[in-house]
């Protein structure tokens, strides 16, 4: 049974959350990785054109038309640059399990920091690995912009697994920790895995996704989602 310090995760169930469907194979992940990178390049080009157009406005015009929703630095402190929340969420279908969602947060500024392709590929790979465990966990992947907003992570939600992950060098390795809540005792896994850099992202993160799925599967079988049980 999870012990949660606070409940503040209504955005996980918001109408804006769109389903990306189940993950069925690594071959599919490779194709999606190529398509996603092409899409990201298009977005970068579009963003450059929009920025160039915005620069044509006079300084007085920009000052008199602040973007809606923005506040000053004094009112809201910016999140640390090395922390980023993924907009990709795994929704678990097995009703008998004590968790319904798995979300991801990158806590380092490594080589692939803030990489949208990394967030989606990792979530898909973990979902695929969970479906291939001895006791398969059925799930589907959803995309929710609200999940990437740090302001929506001020407390922990119920029936939720939080994945923190990072990338380190010398030697090259991935690391991760798994949490069932916010307090220190809710961390039920921590590990670092050697992972040499590879050309294909899906190949590079496979050791990471495999171990994350393995630890979640172990906790599911033992019923232990805390540091000590």
Encode burial over 168-180: b for 16+ CB neighbours within 10 A, e otherwise: eeeeebbbbbbbb
Longest CA–CA span in the chain (Å) reads 63
Would you state the pLDDT for residue 115? 72
Confidence bin at 172 (pLDDT 50/70/90): confident
User: Would the pTM of this model clear 0.75, i.e. be above it?
Assistant: no
Domain ranges within the chain, ordered by starting residue: 82-229
Q: Supply 122's token pair.
A: 């990792």
Element (H, E) at 91: strand 88-92
- Let me know if 35 is exposed, middle or buried by CB neighbors in 10 A (0-12, 13-18, 19+): exposed
Residue 10 has pLDDT above 60, yes or no: no
Report pLDDT for 27.
57
Angle between helices 201-222 and 116-131 (to 10 degrees): 50
Q: How many helices (H) and strands (E) does the chain have?
A: 4, 8
- Share above pLDDT 90 across residues of the chain, in percent, rounded to a whole number: 48
Predicted confidence band at 199 (pLDDT cuts at 50, 70, 90)?
A: confident
Q: Tell me the per-residue pLDDT of 122-170, one tens digit each, with 9 for 90 and over.
A: 999 999 999 998 889 999 999 999 999 999 988 888 899 999 999 888 7
Model confidence pLDDT, tens digit, residues 54-106:
444 333 332 333 333 323 233 334 445 578 999 999 999 999 999 999 999 99
Model confidence pLDDT, tens digit, residues 16-63: 455 666 655 555 555 555 555 555 555 544 454 444 444 443 333 323
């Amino acid at each position: 049974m999870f012990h949660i310090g606070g409940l503040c995760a209504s955005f996980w169930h918001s109408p804006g959350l769109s389903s990306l469907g189940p993950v069925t194979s690594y071959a599919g992940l490779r194709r999606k990785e190529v398509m996603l990178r092409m899409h990201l390049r298009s977005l970068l080009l579009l963003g450059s054109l929009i920025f160039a157009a915005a620069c044509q406005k006079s300084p007085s015009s920009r000052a008199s038309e602040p973007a809606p929703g923005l506040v000053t630095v004094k009112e809201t402190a910016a999140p640390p640059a090395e922390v980023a929340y993924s907009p990709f969420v795994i929704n678990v279908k097995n009703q008998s399990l004590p968790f319904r969602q798995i979300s991801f947060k990158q806590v380092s500024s490594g080589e692939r920091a803030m990489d949208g392709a990394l967030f989606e590929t990792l979530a898909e790979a973990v979902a695929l690995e969970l479906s291939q465990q001895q006791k398969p966990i059925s799930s589907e992947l959803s995309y929710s912009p609200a999940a990437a907003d740090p302001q929506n992570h001020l407390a922990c939600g119920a029936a939720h697994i939080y994945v923190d992950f990072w990338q380190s060098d010398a030697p090259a390795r991935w690391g991760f920790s798994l949490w069932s809540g916010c307090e220190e005792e809710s961390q039920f896994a921590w590990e670092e895995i050697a992972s040499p850099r590879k050309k294909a992202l899906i190949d590079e993160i496979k050791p990471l996704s495999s171990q994350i799925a393995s630890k979640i599967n172990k906790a599911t079988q033992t019923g232990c989602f805390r540091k000590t049980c």
